[in-house]
A and B are shown apart, each in its own frame.
Chain A
Amino acid sequence: MSGAVSISVREVSKSFRRFPALHGVSLEFEAGRMHGIIGPEGSGKTTLLRIMLGLLVPAQGRVEYFADGRPADFEALRPSLAYMPQTQSLYPDLSIDEHLEFFRDLYSLPREIYARKREELLGVTRLAGFVDRPAGQLSGGMYKKLGLMCALLRSPRVLVLDEPTTGVDPISRRELWELLYRLLDENVLILVTTAYLDEAERCSKVHLVELGRVVASGEPRRLLESEGARSFDELFIRRAAASAP
């Protein structure tokens, strides 16, 4: 699939036993741009991402996928999707190289392409000297970089990142974003949830989510200006204060 992928979320709702997670969420994710999904913990961001990746089924509504503007089948698109979950999802006893090889085979990458990609990714992440180290012994930043490498291994058309830099020191954060920037030139749809303002500002469009509902969508700087807030944190704090008894 070489086409640019875009995704439409239409009126998606989802409840879990204890609480409703999403209420009638509708969003458009245009191809080739970086979209930020911003919201406090428990706002439903992760649930939304999981639904879009086919890991959860919405109670109502649906998600539609388009390649080059035409409707596309999700299963056909699956090899072009890449995911970096929020929680730990790698194997502590497998080394970096073993992880890369595992994902290479899951995505049936040809050997030459793999060799090239691997060298490129290891160079940018500066992890080339650690390829034999088990993931369980990597520091927080290195672990996240490995997760990102596994996601980027096969040049995805859609990259979904759930809080990719939370709990990571400022330097590792920058290195992770360096990796991501290269993708922007390649017409990849990037979905990222983040709590960091500078990351939100890199997105061409942000969607604010609170308690399972979309609160606002738009260009990050313009959104902040219209709300008179200096950061999204401040925006949410103000809303929390306004709605508190």
Chain B
Amino acid sequence: MTFSWRRAAAVARKEWFHIRRDPFTLALALVLPLVMILVYGYAIDFNIKDVRLAVSDSDRSQASRRLIDTFASSDYFRVHPVASADDAVRDVAAERARTALIIPPRFEKDLLAGREGRAQVLIDGADNATVGPVSQYVGAIQTLACRRIAGADLTPSYQLRTRFLFNPELNSRWYVIPGLTVVIMAILSIFLTALTVAREWENGSMELLLSTPVQPIEIIAGKAAPYAALAMLAMAFVYIIARTVFGVPFAGHLWVFGLGCLLFLVAYLAQGLLISVVARQQTIAMQFSMLTGMLPSNLLSGFVFPIANMPAPLRVIASIFPGRYYVELLRGVLLKGVSIDILWPQFVAMAVFATLMIVLSTLRFGRRLP
């Protein structure tokens, strides 16, 4: 029997009725992504500012004051004088400060005598999120401080100036939001479809449906369509918020972006349908969809942990799921402004995954009752 558009459209229309009359699903699809992107977007900020610096100055000389000043006048540190070196350490231990600057008694004397002036910077290593950036700041300030204190022009013979491509100010939001989008849309789309087939099995309507000429592929396509439309709408909302509220740039082409989103969503919708077909029970489908939607997109998409750092087996797994390609695509379109000539591998990878899911769902559907 050939594929009938009329039958698939009938299934799609029926599914649309169900969606429209289920306020919970609608709210979930449209409101949840917005809430998540707003909350996480504001909450996650990898830029470090106003790091508390506990300063213990046992020298109280002009040099030491100049050193402290250099730290204070930068945006990165907030100076907080303490009485002694021990107090400084205690502050860091008690998390009242992130870093400590300890200046020993003969700092200036040593400097002027041509010996090295030794001051110590302690960084809270227990907080791995801040260690990296803070030590970089310290390094930068050190160079500056040296120049100021010595009063001499210590320009080295060459200079290395780093410029950060595509995200010159290292605005962490620009980096985070694309990844966050992946996570949210993955969970949402998989969840939406995971229930729909299982629900029909549970309420008994599947038996009647299967006795009609409808084909499993028509059921799959018909059910996926309205959810794809819904998810695209949610995606549009997320995009608007990312652009207007968080100021994430958009350097690429809208159609590349749209097509990439659609492909990604279809891939996860199809995965949800596969779960629904196999599980046949809504509770199981829901749990499984949360698991397989959340974990790969959270951990294996490159959003939080770089894929290159993962051991080989995990890298392979990460390459199977569309999450990773979507992150690359989003970054490409939003920040780098590249188009399909560069991004075609990502498109192909997602298309392959989506096709695989659809084929598996159709094959596993089975026109037979259990």
Instruction: State A102–B16 Cα separation when bound (angstroms).
Output: 12
Q: Mark A77-106, 1 if CB is under 8 A from B, else 0.
A: 011010101011111111000100111111
Structural contact, B207 and A87, CB atoms closer than 8 A: yes
Q: Does A90 lie within 8 Å of B368, measured CB to CB?
A: no
Return the CB mask of B19-59 against A: 1 if under 8 Å, else 0.
00110000000000000000000000000000000000000
Q: Assess whether A93 is in contact with B368, with CB atoms less than 8 Å apart.
A: no
Closest Cβ of chain A to B205, distance in Å, is 5
Of B6-14, B150-158, B331-339, which stretch is located at the interface? Answer: B6-14
Residue of B nearest to A103 (CB): B212
Whole-angstrom distance between the alpha carbons of A102 and B207 in the complex? 15
CB-CB nearest in chain A for B9: A105
Query: Who on chain B is nearest to A55 by CB?
Result: B369
Q: Note all chain A residues with C-beta closer than 8 A to B367.
A: 54-55
Give Cα A57–Cα B366 distance, bound, in whole angstroms. Answer: 11
Check A53 for interface membership: any CB of B closer than 8 A.
yes
A100 to chain B, nearest CB (A): 11
Residue on B nearest A80 in the bound complex, by CB: B213
- Which listed residue, A75, A81, A108, touches B6 by the CB 8 Å rule? A108
Find B208's partner among A57, A89, A94, A107 (CB 8 Å cutoff): A89
A92 to B200, CA, bound (A): 11
- Is A50 in contact with chain B by the CB < 8 A criterion? yes
Q: How far is the CB of B197 from chain A (nearest CB, A)?
A: 14
Closest partner residue, chain B, to A83 (CB atom): B211
Across the interface, do B205 and A89 meet the contact criterion of CB distance under 8 Å? yes
Contact check, A91 vs B213: say whether CB atoms are below 8 A apart: no
Chain A neighbourhood of B17, CB < 8 A: 93-94, 98
Task: Report how far A91 CA is from B10 CA in the complex, Å.
Answer: 14
| Known contacts A55-B368, A56-B368, A106-B10; A90 and B205 CB within 8 A of each other | yes
CA–CA, A98 and B14, complex, Å:
8
Judging by beta carbons under 8 Å apart, are A55 and B214 in contact? Answer: no
Query: Which listed residue, B7, B208, B209, touches A108 by the CB 8 Å rule?
Result: B7
B203 contacts partner chain A, Cβ-Cβ < 8 Å:
yes
Q: Residues of B contacting A83 with CB < 8 Å?
A: 208, 211
How many Å from the CB of B7 to the closest CB on chain A?
6
The B196-253 residues at the A interface (CB cut-off 8 A) are: 203-205, 207-214
B18 at the interface (CB under 8 A from A): yes
CB of A91 within 8 A of CB of B207, answer no
Centre residue among B7, B203, B207 by max chain A CB count within 10 A: B207
Q: Please, how many angstroms separate the alpha-carbon atoms of A55 and B369 in the complex?
A: 6
Establish whether residues A50 and B369, one from each chain, have CB atoms under 8 Å apart when the complex forms.
yes
Measured between C-beta atoms, what is the minimum distance from A1 to chain B in Å? 12
A107 and B13 contact, CB distance less than 8 A: no
Among A45-64, those with CB < 8 Å from B are: 50, 53-57
Verify B214–A89 contact, CB threshold 8 A. no
B212 CB contacts on chain A under 8 angstroms: 78, 103, 106-107
Residue B1 at the A interface, CB < 8 A? Answer: yes
> Bound state CA distance, A159 and B75, in angstroms?
81
Q: Known: A55-B369, A92-B203. Contact between A105 and B10, CB under 8 A?
A: yes
Q: With an 8 A cutoff between CB atoms, is B4 at the interface?
A: yes
Cα–Cα, bound, A63→B17 (Å) = 37
Contact at A53–B203, with CB atoms within 8 Å? no
Distance of A173 from chain B, by nearest CB (Å):
21
Within 8 A of A (CB), among B346-370: 367-369
| Given contacts A91-B14, A93-B18, A78 and B213 within 8 Å (CB-CB) | yes
Which residue on A lies nearest to B206, using beta carbons?
A: A89
Smallest CB separation, B322 vs chain A (Å)? 32
> Closest residue of chain B to A93, judged by CB?
B21
Bound-state Cα–Cα, A89 to B204, Å: 5
Determine how close the nearest CB of chain B comes to the CB of A2; give it in whole angstroms: 17
Task: Give Cα A102–Cα B212 distance, bound, in whole angstroms.
Answer: 11
B13 and A102 contact, CB distance less than 8 A: yes
Q: In whole angstroms, how far apart are the Cα atoms of A104 and B213 in the complex?
A: 11
Fill in one digit per residue for B147-170: 1 if any A CB lies within 8 Å of its CB, else 0: 000000000000000000000000
CB distance from B2 to the nearest CB of A (A): 12
Q: Is the CB of A88 within 8 A of B204?
A: yes
Task: Across the interface, name the chain B residue whose C-beta is closest to A104.
Answer: B10
Q: Known: A90-B205, A93-B18. Contact between A102 and B10, CB under 8 A?
A: yes
What distance in Å separates the Cβ of B333 from its nearest Cβ neighbour in chain A?
A: 38
Q: Which residues of A contact B22 (CB under 8 A)?
A: 93
Residue of A nearest to B14 (CB): A102
Contact B205 A105 (CB under 8 A): no
Q: Chain B residues near A79 (CB, 8 Å)?
A: 213
Contact B205 A91 (CB under 8 A): yes
For B13, list chain A residues within 8 Å (CB).
101-102, 105
Alpha-carbon distance A57/B369, docked complex (angstroms): 9
Given the complex, which residues of A lie within 8 Å of B213, measured CB to CB? 78-79, 106-108
Chain A residues, CB < 8 A from B210: 55
In the assembled complex, how far is the CB of residue B70 from the closest CB belonging to chain A, in whole angstroms?
Answer: 69
Q: Verify B211–A55 contact, CB threshold 8 A.
A: yes
A-B contact pairs, 13 of them (CB 8 A): A50-B207, A50-B369, A56-B368, A88-B204, A89-B208, A90-B208, A91-B205, A94-B17, A101-B10, A102-B10, A105-B9, A106-B212, A150-B208
Top 5 A-B residue pairs of the complex, sorted by shortest distance between their CB atoms: A105-B10, A89-B208, A83-B211, A106-B212, A89-B204
